[in-house]
Amino acid sequence: MPRRGGTIQKRPIPHVKKVLAVASGKGGVGKSTIAVNLAFSLAMQRPPSLGRRIRVGVLDLDIFGPSVPTLMGLQHADEPPLTSTGAMLPITNHGLPTMSMGYLLPKSGPGASREDAAVVWRGLMVQKAVQQLLFDVDWRDGGEGPGLDVLVVDMPPGTGDVQLTLGQLVAVDGAVIVSTPQDVALTDVRRGISMFRKVSVPITGTILNQSYFVCPSCATPHYLFGSPAAFRSIAASLDVPVLGELPLVKGVSVGGDNGVPYVLTSSKEQAEEDSAGGAVWRNVMQEIAGTVWHALKEK
Ligand SMILES: Nc1ncnc2c1ncn2[C@@H]1O[C@H](COP(=O)(O)OP(=O)(O)OP(=O)(O)O)[C@@H](O)[C@H]1O
Ligand SMILES: [Mg+2]
């Protein structure tokens, strides 16, 4: 528990080697979508230095609006089982373990998902919930074995209690800041970066999401929300690398709603509909995963 005045000791997350936060200053820019797809893109890599695939999990720290359960197709999952020592075991789909407040909330009625249950907590209760999600989960497969190489943490929007609690309690190895090209989102990039810097979290880089739309008939990128120049210059002025610029792709949104992250979808119809933009999205996501892994490894 962070205490005023006293020195706060940062603790490791049990059975997790590297922690990567996915954050943004503004809501609705695609953090959760990117967090989940990045986790799978990382999990598909087989770095020579490891000689095996990267073991990845996703922690949803959006206490008030958890969306990882839906993105993973787990909105009707049962409560997490407990180990003999009382730790929660993650819930897995598509081979990737996850934990979310969404699995712990009471369902609001028959057929309802837990995400429907509103959370009206403040202050200490939020901190307590964040602490449990951080330290009371056993990320090993079934409570045994080697644990995770990387835990991707999906953050709530903005720069509030949850971000501070994470930064103060855990040695976070990197943060990815997501933005969209609109002015209002860009203004918040600065705030997001300075907040993480205040709690000594290294910024791995930024991602510009919904940067452009690739027209299926002409294959030309259209910058619907303005040029990416402003974003690139903000990133440069803050000395933060741009990890990638992702297009707007219908299938990304459809995949999220259906609980099948876009980097896993194999639907031919969807690929045809998304045309070049869909392929670009996957490729950029793979490149981002490669860069992120190298940055984390060096920490
Ligand atoms: N590149 C994209 N192409 C198409 N749709 C996208 C893209 N990125 C995000 N979306 C859609 O935008 C919506 C918001 O995305 P998401 O929930 O990931 O944002 P968020 O930043 O996590 O939001 P919040 O701040 O509420 O947590 C979702 O419906 C998602 O499917
Ligand atoms: Mg989200």
| Any ligand 1 atom below 6 A from CB of 30 | yes
| Any ligand 1 atom below 6 A from CB of 29 | yes
Helix (H) or strand (E) holding 151: strand 148-154
Instruction: Report d(CA 189, CA 207) in Å as an integer.
Output: 10
Nearest alpha-carbon partner for 216 in 252, 270, 161: 270
Q: Using H for helix, E for strand and C for coil, what is the string for 194-208? A: HHHHHCCCCEEEEEE
Question: For domain 16-298, which CATH number applies: 3.40.50.720, 3.40.47.10, 1.10.3810.10, 3.40.50.300?
Answer: 3.40.50.300
Burial 161-188 (b: 16+ CB within 10 A, else e): bbbbbbbbbbebbbbbbbbbbeeebbeb
- Which of 159, 253, 257 to probe ligand 1 with, by most ligand atoms within 8 A of CB? 253
- Tell the residue nearest (CA) to atom 18 of ligand 1: 30
Nearest-10 crossing angle of helices 31-43, 268-298: 80
User: By three-state DSSP, how is residue 64 classified?
Assistant: coil
H-assigned helices in 113-160 = 123-135
Nearest alpha-carbon partner for 166 in 86, 289, 59, 56: 59
| Any ligand 1 atom below 6 A from CB of 62 | yes
pTM for this model (two decimals): 0.94
Contacts of 242 (CB under 8 A, 6+ apart): 205, 206, 207, 208, 231, 232, 235
Each of the 299 residues of the chain gets a pLDDT tens digit; together they read: 555 555 668 999 999 999 999 999 889 999 999 999 999 999 999 999 999 999 999 999 999 899 999 999 999 999 999 999 999 999 999 999 999 999 998 776 666 666 666 666 677 788 899 999 999 999 999 889 999 999 999 999 988 889 989 999 999 999 999 999 987 778 889 988 998 998 899 999 999 999 999 887 877 889 988 889 989 999 999 999 999 999 999 999 999 999 999 999 888 888 888 888 999 999 999 999 999 999 999 87
Give the HSE-up count for residue 170: Cα atoms under 13 Å, Cβ half-sphere: 28
Smallest-distance ligand from the CA of 26: 1
- Tell the residue nearest (CA) to atom 9 of ligand 1: 30
